[in-house]
Amino acid sequence: MMPPGNILQFPAGFLWGTATSPTQVEGHIENEWTDFTAPDGGTCRIACDHYHRYPEDIEWMSRLGANAYRFGIEWSRLQSAPFAPLDRNELARYVDILDRLKLAGITPMAVLHHFSNPPWINSMGGWTNAAAVPAFVDYVRRLVAALKDRVYLWNTFNEPDTYACVAYLLGGFPPQRKWKLGQFRRVIDHMAHAHVQASQIIRQEGDARRKPEVGIAKNWTFFHAYKRFSPWDRMTAFACHYTFNKFVLDAFLGGGRRRASTFIGLNYYGRVRFHHFRAMIPASGAPVQRLNDFGFVCDDMVERYPAGLVKILSYLHRKFRLPVYITEHGAASQDEKFRERDLRENLAALHGAMAGGVDVRGFFYWSLLDNFEWQFGYSKKFGLLAVDFADEKLPRTMKPLAEVYSRICRANSVQAELQGRPE
């Protein structure tokens, strides 16, 4: 690919953003995460207090020079019962966020579901219950009517694959079920139905001044066997690929359903390799140092695999012919040099895919802030801004990567890293 040092220019109008989700940053939330305590003792109760500090956080975005922001709207704040009117005060707060973003020249992408539900949805069995579908569709109809002149980029579901997998197969997210494959499939199926119906509403009701765009955010992880000739590890990798990639993509975008979406959101972090049935990633407990000894390059979560970004983008392009937004990419590490390299390598891969014809419209760094990383609590540092959780004022400070990202956003270009990693 590119020799090191090349300046890779992105097209005019490319969106450079950051991303967050309500449960991870807002605090003061009542959903299934409220009473969840991570092994490090972390809870989402206060989180980054973005609920109150969003004006300051939007100023940070301006300082970064980002021109876009992907954020979630928390369903549990807005509807207290099925088919109920939206809560006026909570709606006014989201309207204020959108107005401030507009003043700052920052394009919002609104996420409608990001790993959390109102308590009344959870008490009826969450998304395993088909009744969640009309309830969500009603919520979306009301929300779109209220916000359509302020939002044109809509992301219905964030990573339905991760949500259904970690909540119903791995037991990491509430309701912490294990190996309930039937429930996993039902959740995906119901969410896919809800996506199609919600997308129709968004496309029909959206504001005529700016054509609405809608899609899901699909997490794409590559699953490989560490040793090519190990049949069991290959089988495990294939089963994961089939269940989390193929089955989910087909449910949301297969056949006629593709027409519901106007874009695909891609959340891309890297890959998982299996060795003797074990997932060789830090998120499964393998120490980063030991993985390095195997020759794996990992952040504190998964193996990094920038070459995979070109592959998945080309695949999605060939299969669906829809524009793509990279709705999430980021690395968790205390080593800022590592994160900088990772960002440059992935952006070089992204640029390569675009040069090869893939229509990518934007990139959102996960995340604006260090935050509540679900079952890992506060131990994973994904932020461009550090938050001092020991200080009750929760002060934010720019990390070195924020300076790097800021230069990229402002220049609309990136200086490439050498693409020398083995496959």
Q: Which residues are catalytic?
A: 159
Of 40 and 99, which has the nearer Cβ to ligand FCB? Answer: 40
* Nearer CB in complex with ligand FCB: 19/404: 19
Q: Which two tokens stand for residue 370?
A: 């260090």
Taking each helix axis as running N to C, give the angle between helix 306-320 and helix 336-355, from 0 to 180 degrees, rounded to the nearest 10. Answer: 30
Give the SS3 label for residue 272: strand
Nearer to ligand FCB, 86 or 326 (CB): 326
User: How near is the Cβ of 375 to ligand FCB at its closest, in Å?
Assistant: 10
Q: Are 235 and 242 in contact (CB under 8 A)?
A: no
Secondary structure of 81-125 in the HEC alphabet? Answer: CCCCCCCHHHHHHHHHHHHHHHHCCCEEEEEEECCCCCHHHHCCC
Cα dist from 181 to 82, 177, 247, 252, 373, whole Å: 27, 10, 12, 18, 25
**127 contacts 170 by C-beta, under 8 angstroms:** no
Q: Report the residue number, 251 or 332, with the smaller CB distance to ligand FCB.
A: 332
Tokens of 154: 């809509």
Nearest to ligand FCB of 24, 31 (CB atom) = 24
Least distance from C-beta 371 to ligand FCB, angstroms?
8
- Convert 119-155 to b/e letters by CB count within 10 Å (16 or more is b): eebbeeebbbbeebbebbbbbbbbbbebbbebbbbbb
- What is the binding site for ligand FCB (CB under 6 A)? 21, 24, 158-159, 162, 219, 267, 328, 366, 373-374, 382
Q: How far is the CB of 208 from ligand FCB (least distance, A)?
A: 31
Distances (CA, A) of 421 to 214, 304, 390: 35, 10, 38
Distance CA 121, CA 119 (A): 5
Instruction: Give SS3 for 311.
Output: helix
- CB 88 to ligand FCB: min, Å: 28
Cβ of residue 413: shortest distance to ligand FCB, in angstroms? Answer: 26
Q: Which amino acid is at 261?
A: S
If residue 193 lies in a helix (H) or strand (E), which one and from where to where? Answer: helix 181-205
Q: At what angle do helices 88-103 and 50-64 cross, to 10 degrees?
A: 10
Q: Among residues 296 and 372, whose Cβ is nearest to ligand FCB?
A: 372
Min. distance of Cβ 4 from ligand FCB in angstroms? 28
